[in-house]
């Protein structure tokens, strides 16, 4: 399958990443088969406890910096992700379709949902408003201000492998959180 090669998927793949670097894991190998014809697509090494702890530590460290980026700058990172999805939409849609046994239209739709949520989150990054309210105290006002929470854990189901992830991730990112999927 040409789209698998174009997405740089190898026969055997590491499975634990910070998004910047791969972390060595000694977890079980998981082989993915297509329901289309039962053929093997590729395999991935699952995350063992030690690798997971490294990811959590890296996420906690990254959060200390990421939460202080202005929301529009975080939105620009989400924009870059959306641009990369647009550039690879056809191949990613084919992969989702092939791996999940979805129709090609549904596979493309999942990737389009990822793009759409990126666009939504970009707009949201400039709309994290807080209310200003009157107080019963003279010459005093109250306001609400949003603060990032920290590490957001995301679990998505096999039948919506990427859309559900992106719904959570793009919004969490612009709000200043980091994510572990």
**For the chain, percent of residues with pLDDT exceeding 90:** 89
State pLDDT tens for residues 81-91: 999 999 999 99
Q: Which CA distances in Å does 139 have to 22, 130, 134, 136?
A: 54, 19, 9, 9
Query: What confidence score (pLDDT) does residue 130 get?
Result: 86
β 141-143/132-134 pair status:
antiparallel
pLDDT for 158 beyond 90 = no
The whole-model pTM stands at 0.90
Domains in the chain with CATH codes: 2-180 (3.40.605.10)
Query: What confidence score (pLDDT) does residue 163 get?
Result: 93
Query: What confidence score (pLDDT) does residue 80 get?
Result: 98
Contact 128, 67 (CB under 8 A): no
In whole angstroms, what is the distance from residue 16 CA to residue 95 CA? 20
Query: What confidence score (pLDDT) does residue 99 get?
Result: 94
Question: How would residue 157 be classed by pLDDT, with cut points 50, 70 and 90?
Answer: confident
Contact 74, 56 (CB under 8 A): no
Helix axis angle, 71-87 relative to 104-124, nearest 10°?
A: 160
In whole angstroms, what is the distance from residue 75 CA to residue 13 CA? 30
**For the chain, percent of residues with pLDDT exceeding 70:** 100
Q: For residues 72-89, give the mean pLDDT.
A: 98
Question: How would residue 116 be classed by pLDDT, with cut points 50, 70 and 90?
Answer: very high
Contact 45, 16 (CB under 8 A): yes
Residue from 101, 95, 94, 81 nearest 35 by CA: 101
In whole angstroms, what is the distance from residue 151 CA to residue 21 CA? 18
State pLDDT tens for residues 165-181: 999 999 999 999 999 99
Q: For residues 106-110, give the mean pLDDT.
A: 96
Within 48-157, residue ranges assigned H as helices are 49-66, 71-87, 89-100, 104-124
Cα-based torsion angle of the residue sequence 28, 178, 66, 176 in order, rounded to the nearest 10 degrees: 170
In whole angstroms, what is the distance from residue 24 CA to residue 47 CA? 9
Query: What confidence score (pLDDT) does residue 90 get?
Result: 98
């Amino acid at each position: 399958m040409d789209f698998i090669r174009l997405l740089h998927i190898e026969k055997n793949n590491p499975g634990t990443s910070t998004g910047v670097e791969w972390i060595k894991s000694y977890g079980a190998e998981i082989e993915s088969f297509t329901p289309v014809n039962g053929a093997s697509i590729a395999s991935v090494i699952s995350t063992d406890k030690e690798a997971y702890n490294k990811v959590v530590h890296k996420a906690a460290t990254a959060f200390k910096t990421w939460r202080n980026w202005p929301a529009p700058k975080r939105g620009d990172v989400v924009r870059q992700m959306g641009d990369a999805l647009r550039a690879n939409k056809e191949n990613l849609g084919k992969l989702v379709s092939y791996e999940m046994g979805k129709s090609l239209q549904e596979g493309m739709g999942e990737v389009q949902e990822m793009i759409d949520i990126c666009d939504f989150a970009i707009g949201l990054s400039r709309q994290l408003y807080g209310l200003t309210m009157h107080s019963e105290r003279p010459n005093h006002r109250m306001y609400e201000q949003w603060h990032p929470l920290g590490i957001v854990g995301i679990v998505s189901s096999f039948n919506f492998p990427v859309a559900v992830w992106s719904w959570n991730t793009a919004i969490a990112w612009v709000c200043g959180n980091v994510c572990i999927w």
